[in-house]
Amino acid sequence: MPRGFNANEKEFIRDKLLSAARELFSSLGLKKTSIKDLTGKAGIAQGTFYNFFESKEVIYFLLLEQDEKEIKQNVINKLMSKEITPSNFANVIYTTVKQIENYPLIRRLYTTEEYELLVRKLPNELLKEHSENDILSLNPLLDQWKNKGEVDANLSNEVVTSALRALFLMTIHKREIGEDVYDQSLQFLAEGIALRLFKGGENT
């Protein structure tokens, strides 16, 4: 780290780079955004970038993690604040999938080639850590509900996570599904997952 930077300056420059990256990645994407673009937008020397981040892929990944943590925390907060019923669970999942549209980086990851570009350049330890903290994994909540007898204890957490991932992937196929029935189809499938998950859901 250059000697002239104190702790506050380092934090300021890092935040400037993150802000510049979020704006450029959202509008141009990962492939079309260069280190020069990022440092120019942030108002710093190009060589300074590598004192803060290993690559543009790493900064993209960190921004994705910020968004995913925010989404996951919102889901958990909503589920914890409501009475656990199939209807409430389905509505939370449905609105979360819809809100993906408000997160350009995550949306681009699902709808462009950027996922492949990203994973090719990221360090393996980052990918491993990310897989262990899956945005769609609700394991702590699922285990809590199972212990209380509120959900099917025999249902694998991994199966629930995979079903939720399939639901999120619907965003890629909105046109093929049919834009006029997409919302209703999304709600229908969210309700199906909820009814399978919760004991006696069909009668709730």
DSSP letter string, 101-170: GG-HHHHHHHHSTHHHHHHHHS-HHHHHHHHHT-TT--HHHHHHHHHTTSB-TTS-HHHHHHHHHHHHGG
pLDDT at 171: 82
Domains of the chain are 1-53 (1.10.10.60), 56-203 (1.10.357)
Angstrom distance (rounded) from CA 106 to CA 102: 9
Does pLDDT of 177 surpass 80? yes
pLDDT at 3: 54
What are the residues whose beta carbons fall under 8 Å from the beta carbon of 121, sequence distance 6 or more?
Answer: 55, 57
Does pLDDT of 121 surpass 80? yes
Cβ–Cβ under 8 Å, residues 114 and 31: yes
Residue 132's pLDDT band (cuts 50, 70, 90) = low
Residue that is written with structure tokens 């914890």 in the block: 80
Q: Select from 65, 39, 42 the least CA-distant residue to 50.
A: 39
